[in-house]
């Protein structure tokens, strides 16, 4: 365990190493910040991190972090373990406590690890044990697993939901219904990733519902297949919508789906059945992907108050930068008006100005990747947090979605753990590859703390808003 | 102006000043009195405060004063009252060393001060060589007297285009030709070589049901005429004419959206998508951008010009689709009135990115049609058309309502149309958009992903300005506000705006920081 005390903005971080499990970490260059400050830190055993999820669990706050592939020493076991899932007690963000590492699949980057993780409480799940907590995670690209994490320091595998896959990715699990949308690569589909829908209302007894994807991705279809799925976000039973984002730094597609028709419609994989629940599909410009598609529904636009119809629905779309040193088109944020669902229309965009930090020259990736997915009323429809790789975490005021404005940012300092971009190392003399922060994914908890996970092994930074940006949030 | 910049920056301070000063208890009247007193003194900061008050709205609660102009980085150079006629489109042409403004009017009638007679609104011709002293030369009347201001689309002679004979393939060198709409019925060709004595030389087409904005390519003579034909199933379509010889019009084809053609089944979404006039990039660009619909459910279309002109002309669904590259709905809330292409934009922000640096865009303008915001907000959208077959909305521009309480000022509030002249002074740098009661807005378009307003001018109303009336709960109330209807620029960099509610034509120029965005050379 290591600690970084909460410090004033733009002051060099003081790194205080402590327990027997810690390796020494040198303070890197300064963190850069505006209206955000560091509230805590954990180095995650220097594992490349993807998805953080933070849950209140019987009075404790537990962070589950999915890792990309790699192999690191677990100081708690003294063993080198393939990157899997980190479980960290963040009840006191100033004193984060690493509880357990569940190893993942062998392999580097997206070929191994256990990048995705979701948690549901047994009292929310229709057939869960009310005293238990359940973790859904991927095992590399092969399988989806269910774990009992009621005691987070002693997670127990309950069952493997499905295995023999070619790929996995960003799942969604509805805790109130148990329906899970598992991003999967069955061998017979024409794309690397599609959705396997399961009923996990009883976590020990997964029930397969159907395979789903865009028409053209299914086995036997003809022509160019639409680009692979990235991940869905469900608006749940009430709104009856599931939003699917496809593509990474290219071929982005937003698909709006009728949830009820998706779950109860004819399941056989035919063109007709795949199209049946589809309400609409919006194809992005060739050079833009759609990594996260986060719904912002029933937004009241203050400036429209005197006009007819001031309420609108939007999807906040985040592209994924996948190439280092700007060797691609800029990956950024798009806001799509879906008030008229059958005719989604892009209305706004946002990017970090490159010149504000010479980010193309800093090394590694520069561009958008993911937003938070927790809809806590502290931030929902007010602030969006977007990871921007070497530009750290960017905080946007989206109360007027036609005009997103940056109100805060935090770029963590690199540490001795931070590694260069793997493609740069392959492409040229590694000594010439610059090392930069790679803020990969972000999540917020119901206390309003913000968690940023680093792809380049820098760990997990816990942040809080300060100043005018904090006033935009709804802290009661 | 520097002062206006100062006002913008110090808006809060000004609002505070206004609240804290002793006259605040006397309300708006007290403030105005104080302002007048200060005006007399012309004293330092107070004068600054005063000028800001005049030129920019202050606190949220301030009651907009429509009788005062409001401006930022734009100033009035000259003015003509256009005989108090409702005006639509101004077109400015250099003609034998003189600069002439041709202004198409919407319906109505007024006394022509040159003849002393009451004439149905038609076309105003002005000499604007000296923009400070525009000289009214001639009014070509029409019989169309239906009013525009009272809600009807008065169609005096709203569309006007001018070509020089030296540009037209079969025109007579030394001559100038004007194509204009007449009421809802016809399109005429005029010889305006002597602009004080225009002469009608041909009727291009008559017996129409409706007319609207036309586009005439001077270098080829091809004209895209907005016309209502009795057998088509929509109010307005496009008639493509070869007017390379202005006195011998040749119809090439009729064009509209599939479903609008005679005999087609009539889907309701198509019925409302009447044509609003195209923007042509000519034989070189080989593209036409069409806007459709003015009461919501708008759409735009990208068309291959060559295929349009040489493709099979019979109006079948197949033939109408043949030249279409892309069609995009703007949704049921948004009309599409005008479109303005920004092609080959080199985006400085993406200079270091390996891909996606040079892009094509289309600005899509709606049309606000209801007074006092009794409709969905009508804003301008930016659509990325780099991949032409998959247009994608990337941004928007709108005038924040709260900046001027535009919804309570009276008349329409919202975008209507942009300049269409592509002078290198402004093209790919500044686009001017007519925003009805918010006047004209100067928009920096150098990065279409992030449009920025850099200037505006909202003229003062005059005695001529017609009120805009609204019926609410059976009772009518009227407010008098500016209704900036259309805007055009000339090759000298002057900006011309025309008022729908009879306020006339204002000639403007950019000042301060906004002027630096334009390319006036050395």
The answer to whether residues B293 and B436 belong to one domain is yes
Q: Are A113 and A68 in contact (CB under 8 A)?
A: yes
- Which member of B355, B386, B408 has the closest CB to residue A328? B355
The predicted structure's pLDDT at residue B33: 53
The one-character DSSP state at B412 is: B
Contact with chain A for residue B447, Cβ under 8 A: no
For residue A316, what pLDDT band results from cuts at 50, 70 and 90?
very high
Q: Which of B63, B93, B115 is the last residue of a domain?
A: B63
Q: For residues A379 and A296, give the distance between their C-alpha atoms in angstroms, rounded to a whole number.
A: 11
The predicted structure's pLDDT at residue B271: 60
Nearest CA in chain A to B409: A306
Q: For residues A85 and A68, give the distance between their C-alpha atoms in angstroms, rounded to a whole number.
A: 9
Sign of CA dihedral B162, B167, B170, B171: positive
Number of domain units in chain B? 2
Does position B4 have pLDDT exceeding 60, yes or no? no
Distances (CA, A) of B196 to A22, B124, B135, B166, B302: 90, 10, 11, 20, 39
| C-beta atoms of B381 and A345 within 8 A | yes
Residue B19: CB atoms within 10 A of its CB come to: 11
- Which member of B351, B375, B381 has the closest CB to residue A307? B375
For residue B337, what pLDDT band results from cuts at 50, 70 and 90?
confident
Residue B260 within a domain: yes
Contact with chain B for residue A346, Cβ under 8 A: yes
Number of domain units in chain A? 1
Contact with chain A for residue B392, Cβ under 8 A: yes
User: How many CA atoms, within 13 angstroms, populate the side-chain half-sphere of residue B246?
Assistant: 31
Q: For residues A193 and B262, give the distance between their C-alpha atoms in angstroms, rounded to a whole number.
A: 47
- Mutation target to probe the B interface, by most B beta carbons within 10 A, among A317, A325, A347 is A347
Q: For residues B70 and B11, give the distance between their C-alpha atoms in angstroms, rounded to a whole number.
A: 14
The predicted structure's pLDDT at residue B154: 61
The predicted structure's pLDDT at residue B521: 86
Nearest to A390 by CA among A368, A415, A370, A417: A368
Task: Give the CA angle between residues A416, A422, A424 to the nearest 5°.
Answer: 105
Nearest-CA distance A271 → chain B (Å): 23
The predicted structure's pLDDT at residue B274: 85
For residue B55, what pLDDT band results from cuts at 50, 70 and 90?
very low
Nearest to B159 by CA among B486, B409, B476, B391: B486
The answer to whether residues B52 and B177 belong to one domain is no
Contact with chain A for residue B398, Cβ under 8 A: yes
For residue B332, what pLDDT band results from cuts at 50, 70 and 90?
confident
Alpha-carbon dihedral angle through residues A445, A449, A452, A457, given to the nearest 10 degrees: -100
Residue B522 within a domain: no
Burial A246-264 (b: 16+ CB within 10 A, else e): bbbbbbbbbbbbbbeebbe
Q: A178 by DSSP, 3-state: which? A: coil
| C-beta atoms of A303 and B402 within 8 A | yes
Sign of CA dihedral B253, B257, B258, B263: negative
Contact with chain A for residue B356, Cβ under 8 A: yes
Q: For residues B223 and B216, give the distance between their C-alpha atoms in angstroms, rounded to a whole number.
A: 4
Residue B297 within a domain: yes
For residue A309, what pLDDT band results from cuts at 50, 70 and 90?
confident
For residue B472, what pLDDT band results from cuts at 50, 70 and 90?
confident
The one-character DSSP state at A263 is: H
- Which member of A286, A346, A354 has the closest CB to residue B352? A354
The answer to whether residues B92 and B58 belong to one domain is no
Q: For residues A394 and A406, give the distance between their C-alpha atoms in angstroms, rounded to a whole number.
A: 7
Contact with chain A for residue B376, Cβ under 8 A: yes
| C-beta atoms of B390 and A304 within 8 A | no
Q: Are B331 and B299 in contact (CB under 8 A)?
A: no
Q: Are A333 and A368 in contact (CB under 8 A)?
A: yes
Residue B258 within a domain: yes
A115-153 pLDDT tens trace: 999 999 999 999 999 999 999 999 999 999 999 999 999
Q: For residues A462 and A385, give the distance between their C-alpha atoms in angstroms, rounded to a whole number.
A: 13
Tokens of A200: 């996990």
Identify the bridge partners of residue A139 per DSSP, sorted by sequence position.
A143
For A139, the enclosing helix (H) or strand (E) is strand A133-139
Contact with chain A for residue B327, Cβ under 8 A: no
Does position B22 have pLDDT exceeding 90, yes or no? no
Nearest-CA distance B283 → chain A (Å): 26
- Mutation target to probe the A interface, by most A beta carbons within 10 A, among B332, B392, B397, B410 is B392
| C-beta atoms of B390 and A285 within 8 A | yes
B121-142 pLDDT tens trace: 999 999 999 999 999 999 999 9
- Which member of B352, B387, B400 has the closest CB to residue A285? B387
Chain B hits for A303, CB-CB cut-off 8 Å, are 377, 398, 400-402
Contact with chain B for residue A216, Cβ under 8 A: no
Contact with chain A for residue B375, Cβ under 8 A: yes
Q: Which of B63, B80, B105 is the last residue of a domain?
A: B63
Q: For residues B510 and B522, give the distance between their C-alpha atoms in angstroms, rounded to a whole number.
A: 16
The predicted structure's pLDDT at residue B267: 67
Q: Residue B393's domain is classified under what CATH number?
A: 2.130.10.10
Q: Mean pLDDT score of chain B, rounded to an integer?
A: 87
The answer to whether residues B23 and B139 belong to one domain is no
The answer to whether residues B81 and B32 belong to one domain is no
Q: Are A414 and A340 in contact (CB under 8 A)?
A: no
SS (H, E, C) B149-215: CCCCCCCCCCCEEEEECCCCCCCCCCCEEEEEEECCCEEEEEECCCCCCCEEEEEEECCCCCECCCE
The answer to whether residues B170 and B224 belong to one domain is yes
Least confident of B21-30, B166-175, B179-188: B21-30
Residue B65: CB atoms within 10 A of its CB come to: 16
The separation between the first and the last C-alpha atoms of chain B, rounded to the nearest angstrom, is: 20
For B31, the enclosing helix (H) or strand (E) is helix B27-41
The answer to whether residues B23 and B89 belong to one domain is no
Does position B497 have pLDDT exceeding 60, yes or no? yes
- Mutation target to probe the A interface, by most A beta carbons within 10 A, among B64, B296, B352 is B352
Boundaries of domain holding B295:
71-517
Task: Give the CA angle between residues B116, B121, B126 to the nearest 5°.
Answer: 75
For residue B58, what pLDDT band results from cuts at 50, 70 and 90?
very low
Q: Which of B35, B63, B91 is the last residue of a domain?
A: B63
Nearest CA in chain B to A367: B353
| C-beta atoms of B395 and A347 within 8 A | yes
The answer for A 284-323 residues in CB contact with B (under 8 A) is 284-287, 303-304, 306-309, 323
Across the range A167-194, mean pLDDT stands at 97
The answer to whether residues B194 and B78 belong to one domain is yes
- Specify the pTM: 0.89
Chain B hits for A251, CB-CB cut-off 8 Å, are none
The answer to whether residues B25 and B124 belong to one domain is no
| C-beta atoms of A349 and B331 within 8 A | no
- Which member of A284, A334, A347 has the closest CB to residue B381? A347
Distances (CA, A) of B103 to B178, B219, B317, B496, B509: 11, 22, 37, 10, 19
The answer to whether residues B325 and B459 belong to one domain is yes
Q: Are A397 and A413 in contact (CB under 8 A)?
A: no
Boundaries of domain holding A29:
2-472
Across the range B483-506, mean pLDDT stands at 97
The separation between the first and the last C-alpha atoms of chain A, rounded to the nearest angstrom, is: 32
B233-268 pLDDT tens trace: 888 999 999 999 999 999 999 999 998 999 988 666
Does position A217 have pLDDT exceeding 70, yes or no? yes
Nearest to A293 by CA among A301, A302, A284: A284
Q: Which residues, 6 or more positions from B492, have their beta carbon under 8 angstroms from its beta carbon?
A: B99, B425
Identify the bridge partners of residue B505 per DSSP, sorted by sequence position.
B80, B498
What is the ipTM metric for this complex?
0.90
Nearest CA in chain B to A360: B352
The predicted structure's pLDDT at residue B147: 60
Chain A hits for B376, CB-CB cut-off 8 Å, are 304, 307-309
Q: For residues A417 and A407, give the distance between their C-alpha atoms in angstroms, rounded to a whole number.
A: 29
The predicted structure's pLDDT at residue A315: 98
Nearest to A439 by CA among A21, A17, A36, A11: A36
Does position B307 have pLDDT exceeding 50, yes or no? yes
Alpha-carbon dihedral angle through residues B397, B403, B406, B408, given to the nearest 10 degrees: 150
Tokens of A195: 């959705």
Place of tokens 């959206």: B257
Does position B77 have pLDDT exceeding 80, yes or no? yes
| C-beta atoms of A306 and B386 within 8 A | no
Q: Residue A120's domain is classified under what CATH number?
A: 2.130.10.10
The predicted structure's pLDDT at residue B128: 98
| C-beta atoms of B376 and A286 within 8 A | no
Q: Are B222 and B242 in contact (CB under 8 A)?
A: yes
Nearest-CA distance B445 → chain A (Å): 15
- Which member of A346, A360, A361 has the closest CB to residue B392? A346
Nearest CA in chain B to A310: B376
Chain B hits for A289, CB-CB cut-off 8 Å, are none
| C-beta atoms of A343 and B332 within 8 A | yes
Does position B391 have pLDDT exceeding 60, yes or no? yes
Nearest CA in chain A to B330: A345
- Mutation target to probe the A interface, by most A beta carbons within 10 A, among B64, B295, B354, B479 is B354
Identify the bridge partners of residue A352 per DSSP, sorted by sequence position.
none
The answer for B 123-142 residues in CB contact with A (under 8 A) is none
Place of tokens 């049309």: B367
Across the range B176-196, mean pLDDT stands at 96
The answer to whether residues B29 and B153 belong to one domain is no
Q: For residues B497 and B481, give the distance between their C-alpha atoms in angstroms, rounded to a whole number.
A: 15
Classify residue A235 as exposed, middle or buried by CB count within 10 Å of its CB (0-12, 13-18, 19+). middle
Q: For residues B401 and B290, give the distance between their C-alpha atoms in angstroms, rounded to a whole number.
A: 28
The answer to whether residues B388 and B439 belong to one domain is yes
Sign of CA dihedral B131, B132, B138, B143: positive
């Amino acid at each position: 365990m290591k600690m970084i005390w909460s410090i004033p903005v733009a002051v060099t971080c003081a790194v205080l190493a402590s327990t027997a499990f810690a390796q020494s970490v040198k303070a890197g260059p300064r963190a850069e910040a505006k209206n955000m400050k560091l509230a805590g830190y954990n180095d995650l055993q220097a594992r490349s991190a993807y998805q953080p999820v933070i849950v209140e669990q019987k009075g404790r706050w537990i962070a589950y972090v999915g890792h990309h592939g790699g192999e690191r020493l677990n100081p708690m076991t003294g063993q080198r373990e393939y990157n899997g899932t980190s479980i960290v007690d963040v009840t006191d963000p100033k004193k984060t406590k690493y509880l357990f590492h569940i190893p993942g699949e062998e392999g580097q980057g997206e070929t191994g690890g256990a990048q995705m993780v979701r948690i549901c409480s047994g009292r929310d799940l229709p057939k869960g044990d009310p005293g238990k907590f359940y973790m859904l995670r991927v095992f590399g690209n092969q399988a989806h697993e269910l774990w009992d994490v009621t005691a987070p320091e002693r997670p127990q595998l309950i069952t493997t939901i499905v295995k023999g896959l070619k790929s996995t990715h960003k799942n969604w699990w509805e805790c109130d219904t148990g329906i899970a949308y598992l991003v999967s690569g069955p061998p017979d589909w024409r794309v690397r990733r599609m959705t396997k829908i399961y009923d996990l209302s009883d976590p020990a007894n997964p029930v397969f519902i159907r395979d789903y994807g865009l028409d053209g991705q299914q086995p036997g279809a003809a022509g160019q297949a639409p680009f692979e799925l990235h991940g869905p976000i469900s608006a749940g039973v009430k709104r009856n919508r599931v939003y699917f984002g496809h593509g990474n730094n290219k071929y982005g597609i937003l698909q709006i789906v009728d949830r009820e028709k998706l779950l109860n419609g004819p399941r056989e994989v035919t063109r007709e059945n795949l199209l049946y629940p589809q309400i609409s599909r919006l194809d992005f410009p060739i050079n833009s992907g759609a990594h996260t598609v986060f719904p912002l529904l029933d937004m009241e636009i203050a400036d429209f108050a005197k006009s007819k119809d001031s309420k609108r629905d939007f999807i906040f779309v985040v592209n994924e930068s996948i190439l280092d040193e700007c060797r691609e088109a800029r990956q950024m944020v798009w806001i799509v008006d879906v008030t008229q669902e059958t005719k989604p229309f892009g209305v706004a965009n946002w990017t970090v100005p490159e010149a504000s930090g010479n980010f193309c020259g800093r090394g590694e990736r520069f561009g958008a990747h993911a937003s938070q997915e927790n809809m806590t009323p502290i931030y929902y429809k007010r602030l969006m947090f977007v990871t921007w790789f070497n530009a750290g975490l960017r905080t946007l005021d989206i109360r007027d979605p036609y005009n997103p404005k940056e109100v805060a940012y935090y770029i963590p300092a690199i540490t001795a753990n931070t590694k260069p971009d793997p493609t740069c190392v392959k492409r040229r003399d590694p000594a010439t590859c610059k090392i930069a922060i790679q803020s990969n994914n972000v999540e917020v908890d119901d206390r309003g703390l913000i968690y940023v996970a680093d792809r380049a092994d820098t760990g997990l930074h816990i942040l809080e808003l300060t100043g005018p940006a904090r006033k935009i949030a709804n802290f009661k | 102006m520097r002062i206006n910049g100062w006002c913008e920056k110090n808006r809060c301070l000004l609002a505070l000043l206004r609240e804290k000063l002793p006259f605040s208890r006397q309300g708006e009247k007290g403030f105005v009195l104080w302002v007048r007193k200060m005006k007399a003194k012309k004293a330092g900061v107070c004068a600054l405060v005063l000028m800001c008050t005049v030129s920019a709205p202050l606190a949220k609660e301030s009651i907009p004063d429509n009788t005062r102009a409001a401006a930022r980085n734009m100033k009035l150079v000259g003015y003509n009252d256009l005989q108090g006629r409702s005006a639509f489109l101004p077109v400015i042409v250099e003609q034998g060393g003189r600069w002439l403004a041709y202004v198409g009017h919407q319906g109505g009638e007024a006394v022509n001060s040159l003849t002393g007679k009451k004439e149905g609104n038609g076309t105003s011709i002005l000499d604007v060589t000296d923009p400070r002293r525009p000289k009214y030369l001639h009014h070509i009347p029409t019989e169309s007297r239906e009013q525009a201001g009272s809600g009807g689309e008065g169609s005096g002679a709203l569309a006007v285009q001018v070509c020089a004979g030296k540009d037209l393939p079969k025109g007579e060198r030394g001559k100038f030709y004007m194509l204009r709409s007449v009421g809802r019925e016809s399109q005429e060709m005029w010889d305006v070589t002597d602009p004080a004595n225009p002469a009608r030389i041909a009727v291009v087409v008559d017996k129409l049901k409706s007319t609207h904005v036309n586009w005439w390519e001077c270098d080829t003579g091809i004209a895209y005429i907005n016309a209502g034909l009795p057998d088509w199933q929509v109010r307005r379509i496009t008639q493509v004419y070869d007017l390379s010889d202005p006195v011998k019009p040749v119809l090439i084809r009729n064009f509209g959206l599939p479903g609008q053609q005679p005999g087609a089944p009539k889907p309701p979404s198509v019925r409302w998508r009447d044509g609003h006039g195209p923007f042509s990039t000519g034989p070189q660009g080989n593209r036409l951008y069409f806007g459709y619909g003015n009461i919501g459910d708008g759409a735009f279309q990208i068309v291959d010009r060559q295929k349009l002109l040489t493709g099979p002309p019979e109006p079948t669904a197949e033939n109408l689709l043949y030249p279409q590259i892309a069609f995009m709905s703007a949704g049921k809330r948004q009309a599409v009135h005008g479109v303005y292409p920004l092609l080959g934009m080199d985006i400085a922000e993406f200079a270091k990115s390996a891909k996606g640096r040079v892009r094509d865009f289309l600005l899509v303008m709606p049309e606000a049609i209801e007074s006092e915001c009794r409709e969905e907000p009508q804003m301008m959208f930016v659509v990325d058309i780099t991949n032409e077959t998959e247009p994608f909305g990337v941004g928007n521009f709108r005038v924040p309502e709260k900046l001027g309480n535009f919804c309570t000022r009276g008349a329409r509030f919202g975008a209507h149309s942009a300049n269409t002249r592509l002078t290198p002074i402004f093209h790919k740098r500044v686009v001017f958009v007519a925003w009805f009661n918010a006047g004209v807005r100067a928009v920096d378009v150098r990065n279409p992903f992030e449009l920025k307003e850099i200037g505006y001018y909202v003229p003062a109303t005059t005695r001529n300005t017609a009120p805009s009336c609204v019926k609410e709960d059976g009772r009518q109330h009227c407010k008098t506000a500016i209704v900036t209807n259309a805007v055009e620029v000339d090759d000298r960099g002057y900006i011309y705006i025309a008022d729908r509610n009879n306020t006339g034509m204002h000639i403007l120029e950019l000042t301060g920081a906004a002027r630096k965005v334009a390319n006036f050379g050395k």
